[in-house]
Structure 1
Amino acid sequence: MQALHTAATGMAAQELMVQVISNNIANLQTTGYKKQTADFQDLIYQHIARVGAQASQQGTILPIGIDIGGGVKTVGTPRAMTQGTLSQTGNDLDLAITGEGFFKILMPDGTFQYTRDGTFQMDNTGRIVNAEGNPVQPTITIPQNATGLTVNAQGQVSVQPQGSSSLTSQIIGQLTLTRFVNKAGLQPVGNNNFVDTPSSGQPQDGIATLQGFGTINQGSLENSNVDVVSEMSNLIAAQRAYEMNGKVINAADQMMQSATALFR
């Protein structure tokens, strides 16, 4: 029976939905995480009687048709690139973006990855790096024993030089942000990082607060944009839909048993 296959596609779709929800909930406390959703489409139809077809020799047409659906398929798991709330940490190298943009990270193979996770540190040479030790771009090196590290809203990094009696800070570098025409087209690669794809468009570098770029906030981190209440509601709905598709399979199986019994 076709109903068996149709219900099976429904169960597979809801299983994927639960996987997406579980990943969202698992990353509830992940800095800069962007939640995913699951998008579905109905499968091709079997047209037993096409609507609008001729119904009789007198030229009448069918006002309605008989179309049997084949089930459901997953077409994508897009990310919601909405702003997460900010948490104050007080750490000088914790940076959060409010608005458009990603931090640009130089990888060991010379390629670039992009992130909203501004949990940065300083390595043994004084460079500002991410948790894996990869330098934030443009590469900025903090002088040894410098004090009063500040990063303003535009990404200018300033320090108080060692032994300086002046109250004026010295600018040692300028962080930039990168944005994309289609943020949802970025490909996640783990470690809170994304890479650009043909769907995302070419990366566009710029200065924070200018030309539509967001603002950099020192001493803060961007929280995940996962809404736990919404995720729990979606989880319940997916579970119930899975159960109902299972009941369809049981019903179809019982009908097949009844039909088989007629031939005994």
Structure 2
Amino acid sequence: MIRALWTASTGMQSQQTNMDVIANNLANVNSVGFKKSRADFQDILYQTQKAAGTGVEGGQVPTGVQVGLGSRVAAVQKVFSTGDFQQTENELDVAIEGAGFFQIALPDGTDAYTRSGALKKDSTGQLVSSDGYAIVPSIVIPENATSISIAPAGNVEVLLDGESTPTEVGVLELVRFSNPSGLKSLGRNLYAETPTTGTPVTGTPGDEGFGTLSQGFLEGSNVNIMEEMVNMIAGQRAYEVNSKAIQTADEMLQMTSGLVR
């Protein structure tokens, strides 16, 4: 009976983590470039009361007796499917159509990566993220630029005041990983490289393995509200069933302790 109490409690703990993941997905349904997470579960240790293949008179035990001790969260994985594109008509909004991340230079000298193409200009005209972190490679928009054009291949051209021919000021590059699910979430729509992501590969948009860019669009969150609501209901019911198992085991213990000779 005691074993049932602890086993059911692991199920409640797993579902609590599942609900935390779902809640974070729903909270970021409007975050630009956000990628939803998914909790993966696995069973844990088993107590073997009789091993399969144990010899008995006239043969062997065919299946044995094993009792499981519950479940746990094995991983919380990022799902990097593409979100819906939203037209903004802002010339500094850029969406990635396909694989790849923008590279961001953090103040501590390290690099981070993002799918959010909501670019801005700082006081010097340098292209930065919404938090003011510089895009890599650095691109500076001249002060007298009257319009900005970003090509699908990443070429950034500006039309200067008084001129009729565009001037190229840089090229936006993308970075891809062999295992993007291994990226570490930093918050602020940023990801960091880990030992499991593989070496970052830098390339030009449109090259083999890289997506292209769409100016005037942003990639929305890939969270599907209906799917998350269904997962929430299923998680809630699983939590209730495990709590019921604890209640039932407790009642059985109560009956046992109440036995009178």
**TM-score for both structures, normalised by structure 2:** 0.98
Q: Distance in 1 between matches of 2:39 and 2:55?
A: 40
Matched AA of 1:42: D
Matched AA of 2:65: I
Using the TM superposition, give the Cα deviation of residue 105 of structure 1 relative to its aligned residue in structure 2, in angstroms: 0.4
User: Which residue of structure 1 lines up, in the alignment, with residue 219 of structure 2?
Assistant: 222
Residue deviations 1:71-92 (CA, integer Å, cap 9, x gap): 0011110011001110000001
RMSD of aligned Cα (Å): 0.9
Give the length in aligned residue pairs.
260
Q: Distance in 2 between matches of 1:107 and 1:18?
A: 32
Q: Distance in 2 between matches of 1:52 and 1:230?
A: 44
Matched AA of 2:53: G
Q: Distance in 2 between matches of 1:102 and 1:263?
A: 70
SS for the counterpart of 1:93 is coil
SS for the counterpart of 1:160 is strand
User: Which residue of structure 2 lines up, in the alignment, with residue 231 of structure 1?
Assistant: 228
Q: Distance in 1 between matches of 2:246 and 2:107?
A: 51
User: Pairwise mapping of residues 1-264 of structure 1 onto structure 2 (< 5 A)?
Assistant: 1-56=2-57, 58=58, 60-164=59-163, 166=164, 168-263=165-260
SS for the counterpart of 1:37 is strand
Q: Distance in 2 between matches of 1:192 and 1:55?
A: 61
Q: Distance in 1 between matches of 2:129 and 2:176?
A: 19
Using the TM superposition, give the Cα deviation of residue 263 of structure 1 relative to its aligned residue in structure 2, in angstroms: 4.6
**TM-score for both structures, normalised by structure 1:** 0.97
Residue deviations 1:73-117 (CA, integer Å, cap 9, x gap): 111100110011100000010011010100000111111000001
Using the TM superposition, give the Cα deviation of residue 65 of structure 1 relative to its aligned residue in structure 2, in angstroms: 1.2
Q: Distance in 1 between matches of 2:108 and 2:190?
A: 15
Using the TM superposition, give the Cα deviation of residue 170 of structure 1 relative to its aligned residue in structure 2, in angstroms: 0.9
Which runs of at least 4 in structure 1 moved beyond 6 Å after TM superposition? none
Q: Distance in 2 between matches of 1:115 and 1:37?
A: 19
Residue deviations 1:13-49 (CA, integer Å, cap 9, x gap): 0111100000000000010000001001101111101
Matched AA of 2:55: Q
Unaligned runs of 5+ in 1: none
Q: Distance in 1 between matches of 2:189 and 2:49?
A: 49
Matched AA of 2:49: I
Using the TM superposition, give the Cα deviation of residue 162 of structure 1 relative to its aligned residue in structure 2, in angstroms: 2.3
SS for the counterpart of 2:157 is strand
Residue deviations 1:105-151 (CA, integer Å, cap 9, x gap): 01111110000011111000000001111111110001112112100
Residue deviations 1:210-262 (CA, integer Å, cap 9, x gap): 12200111010001000111100000000000001011001000110111011
SS for the counterpart of 1:148 is strand
Q: Distance in 2 between matches of 1:69 and 1:140?
A: 58
Using the TM superposition, give the Cα deviation of residue 163 of structure 1 relative to its aligned residue in structure 2, in angstroms: 2.0
SS for the counterpart of 1:68 is strand
Unaligned runs of 5+ in 2: none
Q: Which moved more, 1:254-263 or 1:21-30?
A: 254-263
Q: Distance in 2 between matches of 1:263 and 1:253?
A: 18
Percent of aligned pairs sharing the same letter: 43
Q: Which has more strand, going by share of residues?
A: 2
